[in-house]
Structure 1
Amino acid sequence: LDPLGLDSGGTPGALLAAERLSPIRGRVDAFVEQIASWRKAGDHILLAAEDRTQALRLQALLREREMEVPLLTPGSSLLEERGGLSIAEGRLTSSFRLPGEGRVFFRSEDLLVTSMGRARRRAGRGRPGEGLRDLRVNDCLVHVDHGLGRYLGTQIIEHAEGEDEFLTLAYAGGDRLYVPMDDVDKVHIYRGAGESPPLDRLDGSRWDKTKKGVKKALQAIARDLVRLYAERSAAAGFAFAQDGAWDREMAAGFEYEETPDQEQAIRDVLADMERPRPMDRLICGDVGYGKTEVALRAAARAVSCGKQVALVVPTTLLAHQHWDTFKERFAELPVKVEMLSRFRSRKEQAEVAGRLGAGKVDIVIGTHRLLQEDVSFKDLGLLIVDEEHRFGVSHKERLKKLKIDVDVLTMTATPIPRTLQLALSGTRDLSVIETPPRHRLAPRTYIARFGAKVAGDAIRRELDRGGQVFFVHNRVGSLPAMARFIRQVAPGARLLVAHGQMKERELEQVMEDFVSRKADILLCTTIIESGLDIPTVNTILINRADALGMAQLYQLRGRVGRDRFQAHAYLLVPGGEALTQEARERLQALEELSELGGGFKLAMRDLEIRGSGHLLGHRQSGHIAAVGFEMYCRLLEEVIQESKGHAVERREPDLVFPVAGSIPPAWVPAQAERLEIYRRVAASAAPQEIREMERELADRFGPPPARAQQLLQLAEIRIRCRRCGVKSVHVRGREAHFEIFPGDYELSAAFLETPGITFTGSHSFRCALPGPWEKDFQRLVRLLETFEACAPEEEAEALAVPAGEADEEEGGEA
């Protein structure tokens, strides 16, 4: 508190009256007026910027309005005088004012136009291609046309029009490939299910053979996916009422604010339920991102229409937790919610099964016990399945029988990568929730040697703020010894022990006691890995973290950080042993992966590959290893389109212009950032994306220099040529020469009908350009906009931004 100029009164903390400040994104002039008002009242204003780039951007914006604001350096006093104004690097969860102290803390995200949520959504659009922000020298890369090579860095190469930056890739036999930034979307980081295969040769013979083999193996999967989707679309089901009687009550009973992704998932599910064909939708969302709320809204709609609902989960603990949640949310409605699992006695199970068959139970939640032959339903309308891949073969067969003619909603926390989502477009209904809940903070992750001080300090810090602790020790035999250790380092703390070898009743009682806060620490095995949600637990210690897999570690860490408090995850490793290289890399990856929604990041490749296998229902690791995950998804997309009878040939326009675009290092110094920008530009599929990107880049790095503007302009021309089917555009002097593909009679007619266009050959046209380049660009865009109206409908739909997405974001910025 001292650096903030606040008096703690000699106590270790202070309780201060605060008022939250609303965002005013993009309205800098209004913000300047607000600053004047605060300063007149004697307040000191601190502007918190996430990083130095944002800090400099803030400073420049205010300087343009004749306000000189100093940037504070680490260690300096944050607030020195009343009525002052300063900028510091730091993170705030929201902007607020302390009226009694005369202090204002305002974060850059609430002023600058680009928000993290929107940036995340934008970054994922376009054709499949993994981000290159994490690319390192010597990483393996896959080139679509040339196969597996090793990344050596970037190189500036001079040419007639100036100089450009190229990716340099090494191939077998000492060959080198220089990839221009225009083609960077053809390159992606290799991700396989094991070690990288040998480098390919540039002659392409082995790579072509490998691709053909994988593609052949994928054809059976594609045919099944397309056939099943067609069968589901043609099947007759129950069309639920469009306005459920309890929709508003359920929405009002949700104590949090829905995230945009969550709202969309709810809309998707309810829209599916209103159709006459049976729903079969997968909801994919990171741990704690609100999938259960989607299930609750769907269940309310089903029961309000007189149908029964079954929720099947993989563990008894998870069934019990869902039971409590559903009972609480439906408490004010005439809905009977029951649970069927081994937690209930045989008599109770028989009673629930009987009432279920008689239609006296509306919602039943259970484990695979629900799938046994003695369980039947009077009128099942909605089946919700949580983590279906964790059920056995016999249980999956029973699920298939239950799914006939009923709406099915499947939920998973195993990430389904965007590349696979795009590949499966039109064959599987997917909703992805990847925006973190408001106010949620990512867990801070630490790697530490196991010892009394580390464990004791971590436990005491959590208990001092009134929280609870998970201590994971995955060896049942030595749990008693670990319990003695914990009692020594945290004397007085109440301790419970849980593991999978306990009797069901005993385990249930332990978990109930812990949730009821009858204990401070739960010492347990990885039994807590899946699904449990206890918001009061915000510290987890994982012993022998080096012996656990990435997926386990990631899901264990997801057990904390479910509330608004900062969560802490300690990955404890042996004190006297050297870690293997693999274990060290795994732990470091998890430590660095602190951003929320990290389950969708590169470091989670084993989760993603596992999720892909679960979704496709086939053993695909060998094929993924052969070509890399991104190429695998690209080939899957091709064979799916072929199975539908669609052409998959991509007609890339040939462009020759007297200008060249690039990202100058002086504008974006970090090479990784430049590569990511190049990739996003190359992967853009609509002019709206280019304009959005230009605003975002100006917001992050300042006004774009001429070469950067030209890069974006050339990208827009390429997109428009692709959309309307122009084969090539060559600009020579004051003329533009166009060539179209043979047989495109509609486009040919459009050229002939356009004033100023001259026919020069069977498929060739030319037009005069006014010069200089800015006017030439505007002229070309106007022409191509005219020609886009002649593009085949299916091509325009395939390349357009998803319906409503651009408008939604534009509206959100207003």
Structure 2
Amino acid sequence: EFPFEETPDQEKATQEIKADMEAPHPMDRLLCGDVGYGKTEVAMRAAFKAVMDGKQVAMLVPTTILAEQHYETFTQRFKNHPVNIEVLSRFKTRKEQQEILDRLTKGDVDIVIGTHRLLSKDVKFQDLGLVIIDEEHRFGVRQKDKMKKLKKGVDVLYLSATPIPRTLHLALSGIRQMSIMETPPQGRKPVKTYISRWSPSILKRAVLREVLRGGRVFVVQPRVEGLEKLAETVKRLVPQARVAMAHGQMKERELEEVMYHFMKGKIDVLVSTPIVESGLDVPMANTLVVKEAHQLGLSQLYQLRGRVGRDREMGYAYFLIPGREALTADGERRLQALREFAQLGSGLKLALRDMEIRGVGNLLGTQQWGHVSQVGFTLYCQMLEETVQKLQGKEVKHEKEPQLELAQEALLPPEYVGNEKVKISLYKRIAQAQEEDELVVLESEVRDRFGPLPPSARRLFALARIKLLVKDLGGEKLIKSPKGLFLYLTPSTPLTWNILSPLAKKGFIKLQGEYPLRLMVDSQDLEALEKLLKEMRESVSFEQTIKEEGVKV
């Protein structure tokens, strides 16, 4: 029944998910595959298995448009099977929604597809067995909190082309299982990507070429403000084009109508906000123009680019910016990453690059992109281990990972470590090192495999050593601010007045009340910083030795 030839990755992912669903513990798997690589088909097979096992399925998607499109896809796929499918979104009237909810509670609905409406209190299942979450990062914090209740004790499958760093880290570190789909569909071509200064002539050329070859165009800008003006510009530049607008502030029915007409070919150019980034499948749309592209995140830009080139025609993506001076360093690196990873199957690589752009400092510290209960991956793992130890009746020692905020670029650059999976494995080992000797061995291994360390890699290992030193000194965080470099200490710090006073007299530190300590070194000079922290640790060791010898006497 599958209308396309199954790729080896689809087959492998299907088998992995099937094995998970048959295991005694609930599935928690990330399905990572490029836009248009067939993740939805794999998800539908998982849903079909759950329904055949007598369970209900809930599919959460970020937008109403995507919910409607998935509903059509699922309905078409299962038309020859006794599977009852419904969609729950704001496009349904209150009466229609209530009817679906009643049938869901009775078990008459097998698969329900919806937006965050599925997370409402009035949504009750008779026997929920599988939750499919499409692009989890598109949901808000409150919605994610509600997801936790929905996911409790059931199989969960996440779908993403460019998972956010936290999700990706969970998967690559083994907390969440991961299936990767890297085989492109037959005949698929990479999207040609251009990054240029904004100009009406580029907009005209891009739109006109696509319209003349009978295709459709997405013209996107980040905000609703100015969208009407942009639509008028397109109409003036290409008068023969049929132009319409789409954004989240439109009435639901009106938005649905515009999207439907665009998909059916009654509209040539859709001028919109990034509302179109997720899942919208318009095979005839093969050109994308993004105005003020520097204001969007890497994942958003990649998802937008994935809207075009889904047919056998060559796709074109134009990311337009006001000028280089308007770019932040991170914005420039995001756009450069898009240009660099223009080939098919780049989603995972871009997600890994996004993790680097957001800062390895986050990997080494406790900040984890606002999730995992705000505690960070390393600390999350530690808490998980402590909980297991408690359940086993073992004594738990509480250790908190220190936070480093030194504004340093510390990473393994792509020209040094090219293989992204190897790179993330190295990051994981660096982050989990508990002794300086482990880092010495690891640094030596990296040198042997890849050659002399570039500056950013040297800084990466230096920051890892500094993190261990801060931890040994009972440090909570080490932060660079406009006023200097400050070490915040926990009440259990081994640093006493006897240790700190001589260091203050030498001018190495400045005491400001009790805490924090101001370290009188340049935060950019990691060698000097490491040397000072080592001296402080040696002073602690010396004082402890004296105390022990005094006790023995």
Is the TM-score greater than 0.5? Answer: yes
Q: Is the 8 A contact 2:433 2:439 kept in 1?
A: no
| Aligned-partner Cα distance in 1 for 2:336–2:250 | 34
Aligned to 2:316: 568
Q: Is the 8 A contact 2:187 2:312 kept in 1?
A: yes
Aligned to 2:281: 533
1:342 partner letter: R
Aligned to 1:406: 154
Change (3 A) 1:487 1:282: same
1:455 partner letter: L
Is the aligned partner of 1:507 residue 2:302? Answer: no
| Aligned-partner Cα distance in 2 for 1:477–1:651 | 55
| Aligned-partner Cα distance in 2 for 1:677–1:465 | 53
| Aligned-partner Cα distance in 1 for 2:333–2:148 | 40
Q: 2:194 aligns with which of 438, 443, 446?
A: 446
| Aligned-partner Cα distance in 1 for 2:9–2:448 | 24
What is the Cα deviation at residue 649 of structure 1? Answer: 10
Give per-residue Cα distances to partners, 1:408-465, cap 9 Å, x unaligned.
Answer: 212223347899478623x322212233333221110112343343222211221222
| Aligned-partner Cα distance in 1 for 2:201–2:258 | 27
Q: 2:131 aligns with which of 383, 389, 398?
A: 383
SS of match in other structure, 2:271: strand
Change (3 A) 1:578 1:420: closer
Q: 1:424 aligns with which of 173, 191, 216?
A: 173
Q: 1:433 aligns with which of 167, 181, 196?
A: 181
Aligned to 1:729: none
What is the Cα deviation at residue 318 of structure 1? Answer: 1.5
Q: 2:291 aligns with which of 524, 539, 543?
A: 543
What is the Cα deviation at residue 620 of structure 1? Answer: 4.5
| Aligned-partner Cα distance in 2 for 1:597–1:420 | 19
| Aligned-partner Cα distance in 2 for 1:412–1:329 | 21
1:513 partner letter: H
Is the aligned partner of 1:634 residue 2:429? Answer: yes
Q: Is the 8 A contact 1:468 1:537 kept in 2?
A: yes
SS of match in other structure, 1:476: coil
Aligned to 2:450: 679
Q: Is the 8 A contact 2:184 2:345 kept in 1?
A: yes
Q: 2:53 aligns with which of 290, 300, 305?
A: 305
| Aligned-partner Cα distance in 1 for 2:162–2:55 | 29
Aligned to 1:709: none
| Aligned-partner Cα distance in 2 for 1:367–1:342 | 9
Aligned to 1:329: 77
Aligned to 1:319: 67
Q: Is the 8 A contact 2:222 2:295 kept in 1?
A: no
Q: 1:587 aligns with which of 332, 335, 342?
A: 335
What is the Cα deviation at residue 387 of structure 1? Answer: 2.4
Give per-residue Cα distances to partners, 1:784-811, cap 9 Å, x unaligned.
Answer: xxxxxxxxxxxxxxxxxxxxxxxxxxxx
Aligned to 1:559: 307
| Aligned-partner Cα distance in 1 for 2:321–2:440 | 50
Superposed counterparts of 1:118-133, under 5 Å: none
Q: Is the 8 A contact 2:20 2:27 kept in 1?
A: yes
Aligned to 2:354: 606
Aligned to 1:89: none
Change (3 A) 1:545 1:390: closer
Q: Is the 8 A contact 2:162 2:351 kept in 1?
A: no
Aligned to 1:462: 210
Give per-residue Cα distances to partners, 1:89-133, cap 9 Å, x unaligned.
Answer: xxxxxxxxxxxxxxxxxxxxxxxxxxxxxxxxxxxxxxxxxxxxx
Give per-residue Cα distances to partners, 1:726-773, cap 9 Å, x unaligned.
Answer: xxxxxxxxxxxxxxxxxxxxxxxxxxxxxxxxxxxxxxxxxxxxxxxx
SS of match in other structure, 1:477: coil
Q: Is the 8 A contact 2:244 2:267 kept in 1?
A: yes
What is the Cα deviation at residue 270 of structure 1? Answer: 0.6
Is the aligned partner of 1:357 residue 2:105? Answer: yes
| Aligned length, in residue pairs | 401
2:260 partner letter: E
| Aligned-partner Cα distance in 2 for 1:523–1:649 | 51
Q: Is the 8 A contact 1:313 1:319 kept in 2?
A: yes
Q: Is the 8 A contact 1:550 1:604 kept in 2?
A: no
2:428 partner letter: C
What is the Cα deviation at residue 297 of structure 1? Answer: 0.5
SS of match in other structure, 2:226: helix
Is the aligned partner of 1:495 residue 2:243? Answer: yes
What is the Cα deviation at residue 632 of structure 1? Answer: 4.4
Superposed counterparts of 1:286-301, under 5 Å: 286-301=34-49
What is the Cα deviation at residue 530 of structure 1? Answer: 2.4
SS of match in other structure, 2:9: helix
SS of match in other structure, 1:276: coil
Change (3 A) 1:278 1:421: closer
2:82 partner letter: P
Superposed counterparts of 1:134-533, under 5 Å: 253-415=1-163, 420=169, 424-425=173-174, 427-533=175-281
Give per-residue Cα distances to partners, 1:30-51, cap 9 Å, x unaligned.
Answer: xxxxxxxxxxxxxxxxxxxxxx
What is the Cα deviation at residue 527 of structure 1? Answer: 1.2
| Aligned-partner Cα distance in 1 for 2:251–2:298 | 29
SS of match in other structure, 2:16: helix
| Aligned-partner Cα distance in 1 for 2:272–2:151 | 36
Q: Is the 8 A contact 1:551 1:607 kept in 2?
A: no
> 5+ unaligned residues in a row in structure 1: which ranges?
1-252, 643-647, 656-674, 681-814
What is the Cα deviation at residue 602 of structure 1? Answer: 6.6
| Aligned-partner Cα distance in 1 for 2:135–2:348 | 17
| Aligned-partner Cα distance in 2 for 1:588–1:636 | 27
SS of match in other structure, 1:408: strand
| Aligned-partner Cα distance in 2 for 1:602–1:504 | 33
Q: Is the 8 A contact 1:416 1:600 kept in 2?
A: no
1:323 partner letter: Y
Change (3 A) 1:486 1:300: same
| Aligned-partner Cα distance in 1 for 2:131–2:84 | 16
Of structures 1 and 2, the larger Rg is shown by 1
What is the Cα deviation at residue 578 of structure 1? Answer: 4.7
Q: Is the 8 A contact 1:419 1:633 kept in 2?
A: no
2:450 partner letter: R
| Aligned-partner Cα distance in 2 for 1:618–1:437 | 38
Identity %: 51
| Aligned-partner Cα distance in 1 for 2:50–2:71 | 17
What is the Cα deviation at residue 367 of structure 1? Answer: 0.9
| Aligned-partner Cα distance in 1 for 2:157–2:106 | 24
Provide the aligned C-alpha RMSD in A: 3.6
| Aligned-partner Cα distance in 2 for 1:623–1:284 | 30
